[in-house]
Amino acid sequence: MSQTTAADRLIVAMDVPDALAGLKLAEQLGDAVSFYKIGLGMLTGGGLALANELKQELGKRIFLDMKLFDIGATVESAVRGLAQFDLDFLTVHGDPYVVKAAKEGAAGKDMKILAVTILTSLDRGDLDGALIKPGEIRDLVQERAGNAFAAGADGVIASPQEAALIRALPEAAGKLIVTPGVRPVGADLGDQKRVATPASAIADGADHIVVGRPIWQATDPRAAALAILDELRAA
C-alpha cells in the first residue's frame, strides 16, 4: 500500500434515512472511520447539515455524492454554493462540459471534483435501454474517464472492475479513483452488479473504496468496519 492509511481509504456510505440516523452511525463507528459519503437520498433528511457537523465538529472527511448534471451555468453555480461547506469530494456526471463547469465552481477551494463514469448498478442491458452507444462497459468507462480527466476532473468514480484500466491511462497520473460496488467476501450484492472485494479494488488501483450496507446493516457496524480495515492493511 502507499502512504495513504487504510482508515483514509475506507469511505463509509451513510445511506441511512436522515441526519439523526447518520449521527448515530457515526457514534457507533467512532474513531474507526474517518471518511463518510453522504448522498442524494439524504438531501431532504438533513444531509448538508450532517455533512457540516461531521466535518466541523467531529473532524471527519466528507464525500458529497450528488452526481450533478445540468447545463454548465447551473452546475457551476451549484458547485460554488456547495464548496462553501469545506467538503472534500463532490461528484458530477462525467460529461466534459459538466466537469469543466464544476471545476469553475470549485475554483479556489480544496474540494475535489470526481466524475461519474458509468454507475456500478448498471450492466450492458441497462445501457442498451438508455440508448448508450454499443461497446463493452469497461471500454466505455475507460473512454469516459479519459475524457473527464482531460476536462480537469480530479478523479473518477468507477467500478472496481475497471479501476486497473483507468489507472493505466496516461491521463490518470496523480488522479483519484474512488470505487463503490465494494463488498467484503460473503456480503450480499444488493443492487450492485459490478463488484469486487476491498483488497482487490485497492490492488487494481483504487485510492478509496466506498462501503455502505455491509457496514451500516451489520449487527455491529464498528466490528464490520474494522474487519474491512484489517483487509485493507493486509492488501
Q: Which DSSP category does 182 fall into? A: B
Report angle CA 180, 185, 186 to the nearest 5 degrees. 110
Left (φ > 0), alpha (ψ -120 to 50) or beta: where does 234 sit? alpha
- Give the closest residue to 174 by CA, choosing from 190, 154, 188: 154
Residues 6+ apart with CB under 8 A from 134: none
Write down the catalytic residue from 24, 55, 67, 109: 67
Residue 218: phi, psi to the nearest 5?
Answer: -70, 150
- Give the closest residue to 151 by CA, choosing from 93, 207, 108: 93
C-alpha distance across the termini of the chain, in Å: 7
- How many angstroms separate the CA atoms of 51 and 22, rounded? 10
Active site residue 67: yes
- How many angstroms separate the CA atoms of 58 and 46, rounded? 17
Burial of 37 (0-12, 13-18, 19+ CB in 10 A): buried
CB-CB contact of 235 with 208 (8 Å): no
Question: Could you list the active site residues?
Answer: 67
